[in-house]
Amino acid sequence: MNSDSPADLDWTATDRWLSGEAWTGARIGEHARQLCDTIGPRWSGTDAEWRAIEYIRDQFSLAGLDEVAVEEFDMDCWSWSKADVRSSDGARLDILPFIGCGSFTIEANVVDVGYGTPREIAAVSKQLPGEIALMNIAYEPFTQPMPHAYRLRDVAAAGAAAAAVIDGKSGERREYHSAHDSRDPDFPSPPLPSIAITREAGARLRRTSAARLQVEVATTTESKRTANVHGLLRGDRWPEEDLVLGGHHDTVYASPGGNDNGSGTISTLETARVLAALRRDVGTSPGRTLHFVTYSAEEQGFLGSFDFVRRHYSDGRRPRLAINLDELAAGHMKGLVLGFDHLRALVQRQFDHMGDGLQCHVMSQLDNSSDHFPYLVDGIDAAHLWRWRFRGRHADADYHHEPPDTADKLNVRELKEYAAQLSRLLLRLAQVPPQDWPQLGVPAAEARQRVTTERGAVVRVY
């Protein structure tokens, strides 16, 4: 028996029960139909998101969690109503404004800046002022990668009035993009008026001599009420200590959010259900308190998770670990990726005890791609799951930030496995005595200094 697991718990029987309940009691299909089909796109601040909030609240209550709360806050909600583009040859382009882009109207020449590298911008520096930069969102091969937000900032500094950014997907597809760096609160988002265009439209513009575009984009930003949904399963040994599991429930515009992030929302609901049922039916409770959260407004700058951290952990209290679930329909669970390294051995011992070959890794940088970042920037131990991403195990998980990210993109069998493995892991972590737990995060000042140092770097996420 592992020394980090209490000897008075029959782990073989407990694992059998958890895995069986995750599989045979699953409500994944029901949740997917409600969230993705009935409610549909869940952009934060909209009525649809509030229907999702109410549904999640009710599911937490039905699962038997001890406390369930809808934690409201106000946010600046961005929306758009018009995005029209015509080229000089009369063709109409199918575009999307960048998230956070302001309204703008422009008629100007198209100047190709390639991948937006300093070399390419310098080569067209005389033609660029006042014009529309045409830029690939992908990285230039074999060069030091730079986030597209920083390349757009360089394009703006060179005098471009707007940018048409070429999506990397083929088949006349484009997705919603943002251009910000959450590591830098003063970074303009986006640095200049920006639209996403398809790969095919970009190629056509590059074939067109003296290409010119007429662009009209209308957007608004207004204060809206939104909320996180928070439920807890109280620990019976160290109830004042927390473990957090959650994922965002919002989507981008027009996307039903099967993979992003119905998968994470449903896995949170199912893990909460399984562990609450274990207590109800078997009498086994977690040692420390488990918090289950679905966050609002991840797609608008992690606003929900920032609010959750401020609300619950700004007074010096810290959870032992916060695990973020985002885009789990790309492939099965391979392990956990930590922000800080001091928990690596402890987590790996739990995985070894589970016996499924799962691995614990540590990010070389503090990942600013999802809702674990607001924890990390405050020095709080946080992690995301190691699994395939976008172009990986499941090709149909590549419909990121698009209308085809529908309920059928969820892999029900693998989400059952996620619920089982997460339940087994959380219960083990909840039983480790406080004296056997390593340090509680890192000093906030140390984490923030690290984040500042890493600004502008491409995070090696997966």
pLDDT digits (tens, 9 = 90+) for 194-230: 999 999 999 999 999 899 999 999 999 999 999 999 9
Which pLDDT score is estimated for 4? 46
Torsion of CA 417, 420, 425, 428, to 10 degrees: -160
Fold topology of 89-210: Glucose Oxidase; domain 1 (3.50.30)
- Rounded CA separation 420/149 (Å): 38
| pLDDT tens-digit readout, 264-293 | 999 999 999 999 999 999 999 999 999 999
Q: Is 181 exposed, middle or buried (0-12, 13-18, 19+ CB in 10 A)?
A: buried
Mean predicted confidence (pLDDT) in 76-93: 95
- The CA–CA distances, whole Å, from 243 to 31, 93, 287, 414, 429 equal 24, 48, 10, 23, 8
Q: How many CA atoms lie within 13 A of 202 on its CB side?
A: 27
Quote the Cα angle for 30-32-37, to 5°.
Answer: 105
Which pLDDT score is estimated for 273? 99
Amino acid type, 289: T
Which pLDDT score is estimated for 29? 98
Q: State yes or no: pLDDT of 355 exceeds 90.
A: yes
Q: Please tell me whether the peptide bond between 256 and the residue prior to it is cis, using omega within 30 degrees of 0.
A: no
Task: Provide the residue ranges of all domains of the chain, joining segments of one domain with +.
Answer: 11-76+223-453, 89-210
- Rounded CA separation 76/312 (Å): 22
What does R_g of the chain's alpha carbons equal in angstroms? 23
Which pLDDT score is estimated for 398? 83
Q: Are 333 and 326 in contact (CB under 8 A)?
A: no
Q: State yes or no: pLDDT of 3 exceeds 50.
A: no
**Which DSSP string do the residues of 174-202 spell out, in sequence order?**
--------TT-TT--SSSS-EEEE-HHHH
pLDDT band at residue 462 under the 50/70/90 scheme = low
pTM of the model: 0.96
Q: State yes or no: pLDDT of 6 exceeds 80.
A: no
- Torsion angles phi and psi, residue 23, rounded to 5: -90, -55
pLDDT band at residue 461 under the 50/70/90 scheme = low
- Torsion angles phi and psi, residue 321, rounded to 5: -165, 140
Which pLDDT score is estimated for 397? 78
| pLDDT tens-digit readout, 369-403 | 999 999 999 999 999 998 755 455 677 778 889 99
Fold topology of 11-76+223-453: Aminopeptidase (3.40.630)
Which pLDDT score is estimated for 389? 55
Sign of CA dihedral 112, 114, 120, 122: positive
- Torsion angles phi and psi, residue 234, rounded to 5: -75, 135
CA 293 to chain centre: 14
Q: State yes or no: pLDDT of 48 exceeds 90.
A: yes
Which pLDDT score is estimated for 218? 99
